[in-house]
Amino acid sequence: MKRVIGRKVLLMFVVGDILGAGIYALVGKVAGYVGGALWLPFLVAFVLAALTATAYAELVGKYPRAAGAALYANKAFGVPFVTFMVAFAVLMSGITSASAAARAFGGNYLGEFVTLPAVVGALIFLGLVTLVNFAGISESVRVNVVLTIIEAFGLLVIVAIGIYALVSGEGEPARAVQFHPVNGAFLGVLGGTALAFYSLLGFEDSVNLAEECRDPQRDFPRALFGGITVAALIYMAVAFTATMLVDTRTLTGSTGPLLEVVKVAGLAFPPKLFALIALLAVGNTALINMLMASRLVYGMAREGIVPGVFAAVHHRRSTPWVAILFTLGIAVALVITGDVSGLADTTVLLLLCVFALVNVAVLVLRKDPVEHGHYRAPSWMPVLGAVVCVVLALPVTGREGEVYLRAGVLLVVGVVLWFANRVFLRAKGGRRGRSSEREPSA
């Protein structure tokens, strides 16, 4: 692929990939863990994400190829099944993230325009995303660029509202430092951080642009850390504004928490317009994830890792229609059986397992030197990153049992596909072998 992406474009991609449905939908849910100081879990999540980002920064500089965690797991451990399960966990995290976005779409933001049951709104939304996905990659990318600009604008509106409130003396800034954690300070912050982590996901996707960057060894670390920092600062400003202007109980009970901020702001902004912005932001998150998921299934099928039927391409649209329908089917099942916070938490759980392996992989691959120079993470950072990921994946965070059950079921689907494909390939090879045995006698 052509190396055409510079550092500034890469930085914008990282920021755009992180910003999305998480902050629009989950600010209130995070407040339920810590009270008014809901910016704190976002700060802690930023620090923890930065630890894992050091591992990605080293590995993408060392192996500047588009494959991400699956490539690193394969090089470090060399076990095909482990490589497949890492790739499948990333795939399922994309679908669960899109499903969480769909449930957020069907909530209070949509309620500004039409009254529908949340599940019905979410399913209609998934249908629209699927149509864009099916239309073609060029159409989807154009839509993504526009939606990224819109979602960033919406968050800047909230930041502007916060600045105006501070200057004009509105709101209750003291509420933003009120700390009322559930289950004690440590567990409260831990639970809130685990959920806030969802809002910072996306930075790991940027490594798939490695082959198209002009100088990945130099540009990726700066863009990666810079993008996470920019997103985290925006998130903490949004969180501070939300809790300063809206009481914690209202935030916690709303599926459109930032809309509550707009409605009480002294700086007038049309609530319906903001609701539209939020819906488009949520839509962008789902579109990115469903695009990634369907193409990943298609790529696996092309490589013979999952049954070849998933590699079928529509003859007119040139899109992987079977893979799209497969990912849609899983998303529909998730939307019907889960809520926003539960699906977001499932996404986090799946990726925490992947991140833990990536942090271990970077240490294992230190024994595999390369000739070119690249960023090298201080060893203590991936070590601490792996430990943190394991801790955040444990039930001690207050994560509900259904989240573990949902993640387990999704991974079992991967195991079934893996073994079904092996059986199919073995049978196919056997038939070929018997055919070739008959040929000489003919």
Question: So what's the pLDDT on residue 4?
Answer: 57
Of 404, 309, 297, 370, nearest to 58 by C-alpha is 370
Question: So what's the pLDDT on residue 297?
Answer: 82
Dist CA 161 CA 166 (whole Å): 9
| Chain length of the chain | 442
Question: So what's the pLDDT on residue 365?
Answer: 93
413-432 pLDDT, tens digit per residue, is 999 988 888 887 777 765 54
Of 228, 212, 201, nearest to 69 by C-alpha is 201
Question: So what's the pLDDT on residue 442?
Answer: 38
Question: So what's the pLDDT on residue 430?
Answer: 53
Question: So what's the pLDDT on residue 5?
Answer: 65
Q: What is the largest CA-CA distance in the chain?
A: 94
Question: So what's the pLDDT on residue 429?
Answer: 67
Of 374, 391, 393, nearest to 93 by C-alpha is 393
Enumerate domains of the chain plus CATH numbers. 7-423 (1.20.1740.10)
What's the pTM? 0.86
Question: So what's the pLDDT on residue 407?
Answer: 95
Residue 301 near residue 311, CB atoms below 8 Å: yes
Question: So what's the pLDDT on residue 210?
Answer: 63
pLDDT less than 50: residues of the chain? 1, 432, 435-437, 439-442
250-278 pLDDT, tens digit per residue, is 888 888 889 999 988 877 889 899 999 98
Question: So what's the pLDDT on residue 92?
Answer: 92
Structure tokens at 407: 């993640």
Question: So what's the pLDDT on residue 333?
Answer: 94
SS3 381: helix
